[in-house]
Amino acid sequence: MGLLALALLACGGDDDETAPDPLAALDTADESRLDALEREASRREGTEAGARAALEGAELAERLGHTDRAAALLDATADAFELEASCAALEQLARVRARAGEAQAEAVARARGALRRCPGAWTHPATGAAAETARRAESGCRLAALEVRPTGGGARVVATLRPGPLRESCPFTEERGEGEVTLHVEGLTAAPGARRVAGTGPVRGVSVDGSALVIDVTADAAPRTFFLLDPLRAVVEVLPAQPVAPPEGPLVVLDPGHGGEETGARYGRLTESALVLDLALRTQHVLQVRAPELRVVLTRTEDVQLDLEERAARANDLDADVFVSLHLNAADEPVRLGGITTFVLDTTNDRQAIRLAARENGTRGADVSQLQRLLAGIHRREQLEGSRALAEAVHGTTLAAGRTHLPRLPDRGVRSAMFYVLVGARMPAILLEASFLTKPEEGEALKDEAYRQALARGIAAGIVRYFAARSAPETQ
């Protein structure tokens, strides 16, 4: 070997000590690509583009040895039955699980493919028992999450249910015994982390026994069971043992919207959550002075966040006579017409009301319309009539009070919309948008304590007018 070749070898040896490993660089690039595909699949979940990202990401994850990440990417796509890619994802998912040695999981995926008639479904041999397990999962109801929440001395058990692809709902029967409430759910299966949870207050604990959800309660607790939709949840409200008997007189529940991290609309430093809490506290004080026979309770008295269904559930627990949810209107773009709007729970074709409901619900306008179709028939006519009477009374007096400070305050009227916060209420219930926070003149007025006090007097006057009309003798 010549001197030049030896010199080149020597230089090459020195360079190897500091040069980056090309294989490591490739691995880093692949990891970055996988991260990007996971984000794209999540962002566009339920679309063909998202499915393609999931399939590509799963292949890359398998190549990098990330079996769990590959299965997670494929799982949602395999369940998106309307997508062309779902069968390919199902087949790939079965193979990923089979390579990981999960024979039972692979058999479940294979049976799922057969049930859904995917032409390319994975056909790896599986035991009959595993296939039967898969069929039960497809036609059954999965308990996806189970939790117990404290509720001011009581407790709420929330079981999130996911019907299998061959089932549209999760029917159940309720059985009550001494110190126990049992919900028998057809075809119930449970995720490993959802089989047993500790209790709080009058709920000692909750467990899954076969296809039954068993809730252990104190002997003299008062449970009440109902369903909530989107997502499907079985809810058991358990009041504390030996509750104190409430005083006589109608009960008004005021619900300041939003709270905590969910601030709602903003105007400069003003937040909807803080302003409506102030309005609720002022309204409570006015009612206590003007109508001491009324009992007034707030769903929150601090800047805390409550689940939407929890607000109406609290009113139900207290057997309230009316439920008034307080909000402030807003829009992302400049608005020409502000003003006051009052809503009752009903179906609607009003596009603006649907958009507003979507903002308050934190969902899409299309989802609001779907919810309307699902829930249009569950509310009693007398509740709707009471809600309309309450809305007309509160709307009129609040508008009149607001106009003492803003003479041209617009009247946006009494409307119908599908607000989640009103869905569970069993009593007359309304949602009041007391002003338009992002309309500059109304936002500036809301900074003024006198304007907020006027609105509170108007809200209180409407509630008093509603009860006065209800108790007045009918004329012949």
Whether this model's pTM surpasses 0.85: no
Give the CATH fold of the 251-471 domain. Answer: Aminopeptidase (3.40.630)
Task: Please name the CATH architecture into which domain 141-239 falls.
Answer: Sandwich (2.60)
Same fold, 141-239 and 251-471: no
> What does each C-alpha distance from 144 to 74, 193, 216 come to in angstroms?
18, 9, 20
Of 78 and 365, more confident: 78
What is residue 7's predicted lDDT score, i.e. its pLDDT?
A: 38
pLDDT at 60 > cutoff 60: yes
SS3 assignment, position 369: helix
Cα–Cα distance, 447 to 435 (Å, whole number): 12
Backbone angles phi, psi at 102, to 5 degrees: -90, 75
pLDDT at 446 > cutoff 80: yes
Of 314 and 419, more confident: 314
Cα–Cα distance, 232 to 143 (Å, whole number): 10
Tokens standing for residue 39: 């984000």
Cα–Cα distance, 226 to 309 (Å, whole number): 11
pLDDT tens track for 342-385? 998 764 445 545 554 554 555 555 554 555 444 434 445 667 78
pLDDT tens track for 158-200? 888 887 765 667 777 888 888 899 988 877 877 666 678 888 8
Tokens standing for residue 75: 């799982």
Cis peptide before 192 (omega within 30 of 0): no
Tokens standing for residue 51: 């499915």
Cα–Cα distance, 225 to 236 (Å, whole number): 4
What is residue 407's predicted lDDT score, i.e. its pLDDT?
A: 96
User: Using only C-alpha atoms, what is the Rg of the chain?
Assistant: 29
SS3 assignment, position 344: strand
Structural domain boundaries in the chain: 26-127, 141-239, 251-471
Q: What 8-state DSSP symbol labels residue 340?
A: E
Q: What 8-state DSSP symbol labels residue 20?
A: P
Segments of 337-409 assigned E as strands:
340-345
Cα–Cα distance, 405 to 196 (Å, whole number): 56
Sheet of 188-190: strands edge to edge?
A: 188-190, 141-151, 154-163, 233-239, 222-228
Q: What percent of the chain lies above the pLDDT cut of 70?
A: 69
SS3 assignment, position 235: strand
pLDDT at 26 > cutoff 90: no
Give the CATH fold of the 26-127 domain. Answer: 1.25.40
* Most confidently modeled range among 107-121, 178-192, 248-262, 432-446: 432-446
pLDDT at 127 > cutoff 60: no
* Most confidently modeled range among 84-93, 104-113, 233-242, 256-265: 256-265
Alpha helices, DSSP H, located in 17-66: 22-43, 48-63
Q: Which amino acid is at 337?
A: L
Q: Which residues contact 473 (CB under 8 A, 6 or more apart)?
A: none
